[in-house]
Amino acid sequence: MQAVCRKATENDIETLVDLIAGYAEKGIMLPRSRDMLKRQIHTFVVAEVSGEVVGCGSLTQLGADLVEIRSLGISEGYKGLGIGSKLVDQLLHEAKEQNIPKVMALTYEVNFFEKNGFTIVNKEIFPEKVWTDCIHCPKQHACDEIAVLRMLN
């Protein structure tokens, strides 16, 4: 199955609303409103198979040298086919283009990220993070996600 990764456009917003809402209901992703997606669509990449969007991911700048991978998800039926790794590659490429050397994620999918060259780090090394998304997260005071980091060279 050949997946193609590309930057998201305004035409992808409705698909992304549904894809992300599905994961948010299961508690594995923070919800993203249509308004927020409209404002931040330029930070998203999508994966397509035969013209259908089957996955997405985004990059959020947390500091001068640090970005976070957010909203990474693959549709049911398309997992385990290398598409998530392809999206991560695309996001790493975007970070490199922006000259940002550190890429982190907060995740339950540690094995997946380790296979993509990330290592587990202590969450406390990311102070910027606290002031962005976490203040809106229901799990703020009991965060059980694992922080992973990849340095680009």
Ligand X SMILES: CC(C)(COP(=O)(O)OP(=O)(O)OC[C@H]1O[C@@H](n2cnc3c(N)ncnc32)[C@H](O)[C@@H]1OP(=O)(O)O)[C@@H](O)C(=O)NCCC(=O)NCCS
Residues forming contacts to ligand X in the complex (CB under 6 A) are 23, 28, 72-74, 79-85, 105, 107-109, 111-112, 115
Q: Residue 117 CB, nearest distance to ligand X (Å)?
A: 11
Q: Residue 28 CB, nearest distance to ligand X (Å)?
A: 4
- Please identify, using beta-carbon distances, which residue of 61 and 85 lies nearer to ligand X: 85
Q: Other C-beta atoms within 10 Å of 109: how many?
A: 16
- Please identify, using beta-carbon distances, which residue of 48 and 109 lies nearer to ligand X: 109
Q: Other C-beta atoms within 10 Å of 24: how many?
A: 15
Q: Is 115 helix (H, G, I), strand (E, B) or coil?
A: helix
Spatial contact of 104 and 70, defined as CB atoms under 8 Å apart: no
Q: Residue 27 CB, nearest distance to ligand X (Å)?
A: 10
Spatial contact of 83 and 50, defined as CB atoms under 8 Å apart: no
- Please identify, using beta-carbon distances, which residue of 79 and 123 lies nearer to ligand X: 79
Report which residue type is found at 22.
G
